[in-house]
Structure 1
């Protein structure tokens, strides 16, 4: 911890978090959870946030089981005795739809021709595996202290096996109805994910991924309207997520009834995160109006920084195949553009508060967020 981020001894002795429920539930010093961020999250990032007093998190969705086991072992070695959250997706794999896939490839064919690529070549399959019996067995083997889910919860039998390990279970809700659904099925805490959040929307009840997508998105709720309503509706602790990148956001979330915050985008510019250079450059230049919700990269709405394909195809398109299949056809285009230093086809996940994030190593950033928030919560300390 640098001198610049170290609080005075008197402050350390008197400053207190007003709500200890998440601290006691997870065994962490500060109510700050690292957003798992599939693709960008790394063991080094998880270790650094844990060292800073927050909850270390790993994204399980894009790892093969053996890779995930190795990542968990790396965090355990670098963060002995500290808790770990491992996150999984709970989507149902889509039924193959060759006609839709062909239509998507036809829509992208001009870009293939522009880059000298064969539009008839079979694209790679989309990634992101859902939680299943194999991953559940890995949870039973490695026993993370916290297991989090996105897009709802897994099959009740799998969920019961997870809970039998002693893990605390959390999941994300984008509406009050989803929060109540999660509480009724045994979640120990609920992440209230507002529309400002970067990455994939958590929505799992309702029509978020089909039909009138633009209309569905226009009805989604922002973080600081959602958090107090969820806090009023459930009895378990609430974790605020979306648009929180500095101490002011943390203090506001706690004032509205959250017991903790989950921070993702603010950690993307830390050296421990794994993002391509074009993504880092886009984050550095991002403003408050730089992001939009898009389904082009995976088939499911997610917030990212606008780029060429989002502008020209439109950020939300009925042509995109169901999650997670859309990304395969974009992968060759992404590789070609990134090789030339362009972000035209890269999923530049980011929340609306990216420009507020301090540019620090992850452990220092975690401490700074906590120290600055405590200073505002305890002005006389």
Structure 2
């Protein structure tokens, strides 16, 4: 997700119902690139519309869908980052019919991701405005503040979430949201919400975060650097043992947003500023570009994230722009696993 605002301004605007976001970083969105994929972008995968979920909100001047996540029954949930108070902030979408319904709202949250914990089965939401992590039941009931407060002396600007199999959270903390700031962090929060560990810092607005299929390390994207890095973790996943820049995304005017992986280890890198996703192998080869039909892409600006059906290749990505917020479907290169959802 990308913003034009500082964290303090975001908090104030969210409380007033006037939150103005454009993805999850600082740069303004540009006109989308045309299909088909250009040389060097791999094969072109065509996405088709599944559902028109939201329109631009009068109160905030935009809509921004994020954090698609499929449960074990194939039900898709997502968040609308810019939804004002009283309008749905977590939305359930029937991918078979395109019908959708709001399941949760509140007065202050600006939720940038959704993820289901493998430990307690609840849905966890990152609140970009207040720096907290909230959990709810999947039907929107029983909201709880899982984590709030400071990490190593400063409040987080949490963007995306990854879970390990034990239910511990790994959060991309955008932290500095002004151009050229490089004080972003990757933060681990133990599953009881009581202990935090900064795994990496000095990052340029970290956004996407997801484990590899073996849960040996984390893939992370830095929005203002257009890079994807790999953080190898120790056995109990409390320390980074090595870190390197793995992929530079040649996105032109587009920037690196959220990340998902499939069972084969392929990376699906969402693009802020272009309604498309770049697909890479685990060794950095550009395999494909997921694109919308040209007539649809004209009114859309960003593809923020993807969910791939566990055990299948059917994938759903969230796309937004002046024409509204949509879910588009496509065929992924590999089958979905838990790490293929949300973030």
Q: TM-score, normalised by structure 2?
A: 0.31
Q: TM-score, normalised by structure 1?
A: 0.29
**Structure label with greater radius of gyration:** 1
Indicate the structure with greater helix content: 1
